[in-house]
């Protein structure tokens, strides 16, 4: 599994405080590694994100964000 980034929220009291981030630059958004990572570490994860070149979409529990919104994470 290869996930590009992990973002940890500062809250230590919440169990689900880690968000994996996958960055995609092509038109095909295959995220096999992100799916495997999410299944394996589901109890620790908050929201998985995919940064890409199109609009905001939420699908199958994954939030797709345009690259310019990366600082908002």
Q: Where are the domains of the chain?
A: 5-72
Q: What pLDDT is stored for residue 67 in this prediction?
A: 92
Three-class SS state of 20: strand
Q: pTM (2 decimals)? A: 0.84
The upper half-sphere exposure of residue 42, i.e. CA atoms within 13 Å in the direction of its Cβ, equals 6
Q: What percent of the chain has pLDDT over 90?
A: 51
Strand order across the beta sheet in which 5-8 lies: 5-8, 18-23, 49-52, 62-66, 57-59
Q: What percent of the chain has pLDDT over 70?
A: 93
> Cα-flanking dihedrals φ and ψ of residue 47, to 5°?
-135, 125
Asked if 22 and 33 count as a contact pair (C-beta separation under 8 A), the reply is yes
Q: What pLDDT is stored for residue 55 in this prediction?
A: 92
Asked if 30 and 39 count as a contact pair (C-beta separation under 8 A), the reply is no
Chain segment 13-48, per-residue pLDDT in tens: 667 888 999 998 877 768 889 999 999 998 888 899
């Amino acid at each position: 599994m290869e996930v590009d980034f992990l973002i940890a929220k500062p809250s230590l009291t919440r169990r689900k405080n880690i968000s994996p981030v996958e960055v995609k630059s092509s038109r095909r958004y295959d995220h096999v590694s992100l799916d495997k990572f999410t299944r394996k570490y589901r109890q620790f994860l908050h929201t998985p994100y995919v940064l890409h070149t199109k609009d905001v979409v939420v699908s199958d529990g994954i939030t797709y964000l345009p690259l310019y919104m990366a600082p908002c994470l």
